[in-house]
């Protein structure tokens, strides 16, 4: 794929899974998303501490994402109720190398451990590899996030690197695992 390609070449439609519908994140989703970022039981699994994040910061981030040629963020909706339950994203898309980083949060805790994350990951990675023609998707996950690690492995991600004790949480340093899914 040429380095000149970007998301503007791919009009993103809804992605429909068994349990979820993915659609591009909209401004109306920000209030709900910000509440999840500020929830310490959700935030502990995220890439940084967003507990003090403001509406202004969230809006600035949203405007950046809207104009980005290398990031796409989806709202995750329950296919049956249409409730917005989380977000997932393909970040830092490198069109020349054909890779990106995956991020996901199921913010509605009532949807944890019920297969919504797995369905989301299976569908967003399928979109990335077969619609966007990416060849590799990486992610970072903290070693204490056993639930997510199990889901990532189920979805085909393999451990490629461990960053030893580089994440401080709750007074203890934890390993960060770097996992990758490669197109076969």
3-state secondary structure of 174: strand
In percent, the amount of the chain with pLDDT more than 70 equals 88
* Spatial CA neighbour of 141 closest among 162, 114, 119: 162
Burial 74-90 (b: 16+ CB within 10 A, else e): bbbbbeeeeebbbbbbb
Torsion of CA 162, 104, 167, 95, to 10 degrees: 60
Q: Are 46 and 37 in contact (CB under 8 A)?
A: yes
Entry pTM: 0.87
CATH topology of domain 7-135: Aminopeptidase (3.40.630)
One digit per residue, pLDDT tens: the chain, 184 residues?
344 454 555 556 799 999 999 999 999 999 998 888 777 667 667 666 666 778 888 889 999 998 999 999 999 999 999 999 999 999 999 999 999 999 999 999 999 999 999 999 999 999 999 999 999 999 999 898 899 999 999 999 999 999 998 877 778 888 899 999 999 8
In percent, the amount of the chain with pLDDT more than 90 equals 66
Strand partners, 168: 173
What are the sequence ranges of the domains in the chain?
Answer: 7-135
* Spatial CA neighbour of 8 closest among 19, 30, 20, 24: 24
* Spatial CA neighbour of 23 closest among 94, 78, 99: 78
């Amino acid at each position: 794929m040429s380095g000149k390609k970007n998301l503007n070449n791919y009009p993103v439609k809804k992605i429909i899974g068994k349990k979820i519908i993915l659609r591009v994140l909209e401004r109306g989703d920000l209030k709900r998303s910000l509440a999840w970022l500020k929830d310490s039981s959700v935030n502990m699994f995220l890439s940084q501490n967003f507990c003090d994040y403001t509406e202004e910061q969230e809006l600035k981030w949203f405007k950046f994402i809207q104009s980005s040629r290398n990031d796409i963020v989806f709202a995750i909706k329950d296919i049956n109720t249409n409730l917005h339950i989380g977000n997932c994203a393909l970040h830092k898309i490198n069109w020349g190398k054909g890779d990106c980083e995956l991020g996901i949060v199921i913010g509605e805790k009532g949807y944890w451990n019920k297969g919504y994350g797995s369905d989301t990951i299976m569908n967003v990675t399928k979109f990335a590899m077969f619609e966007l023609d990416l060849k590799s998707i990486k992610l970072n996950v903290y070693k204490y996030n056993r639930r997510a690690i199990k889901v990532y492995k189920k979805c085909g991600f393999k451990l490629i690197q461990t960053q030893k004790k580089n994440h401080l949480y709750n007074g203890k340093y934890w390993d960060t695992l770097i996992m990758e899914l490669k197109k076969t």
